[in-house]
Amino acid sequence: MSSVLIVDDSRTSRRVLKDILTRAGYEIVGEAINGKEGYEQYARLRPDIVTMDITMPEMDGIESLRLIRKDFPEAKVVMITAAGQKDKMMEAVKIGASEFVSKPFIEETVLEALEHCLK
């Protein structure tokens, strides 16, 4: 069973992702509500995969991705994007994001992205 850390400031997004992933057999080992918490939980939990929202208060997903990949270059991070974030996506690719999933979530797309990460 692969472990996942969900980082998103939206309670609804966290719940939807958690439902999709739990149904598919993933273990949700942590949830964080901003990039700073996400980084701290990553360092503590070392999950197989992180889902990382981009727009969050305090520290956004790009900065959190940067910190995680600096300390843990093997980290697999799926970026959660919204419309109009092309520049942020390009930046995330440069920093080493593994995959991208856009909101609103489509179950099949979410699962495909995580499967790609694990290959």
Token digits for 47? 């999950």
8 A C-beta contact, residue 105 and residue 77:
no
- Backbone torsions φ then ψ of 75, nearest 5 degrees: -60, 135
Binds Mg ion (CB under 5 A): choice among 55, 69, 95, 100: 55
Choice between 14 and 76, CB closer to Mg ion: 14
H/E element holding 5?
strand 3-7
Q: Is 109 in the site for Mg ion (CB under 5 A)?
A: no
Smallest gap from residue 31 Cβ to Mg ion (A): 13
Evaluate the omega torsion of the peptide bond into residue 104 and state whether it is cis, within 30 degrees of 0.
yes
Smallest gap from residue 74 Cβ to Mg ion (A): 26
Q: Is 53 in the site for Mg ion (CB under 5 A)?
A: yes
Choice between 74 and 104, CB closer to Mg ion: 104
Q: Which stretch binds Mg ion (CB under 5 A): 18-26, 34-42, 45-53, 95-103?
A: 45-53
Q: Is 37 in the site for Mg ion (CB under 5 A)?
A: no
Token digits for 1? 């069973």
> Alpha-carbon distance 76 to 94, whole Å?
14
Looking at the DSSP bridge assignments, the partners of residue 53 are 80
Smallest gap from residue 3 Cβ to Mg ion (A): 22
Token digits for 12? 């609804």
Smallest gap from residue 57 Cβ to Mg ion (A): 8
Task: Report the interface residues with Mg ion, using CB under 5 A.
Answer: 9, 53, 55-56
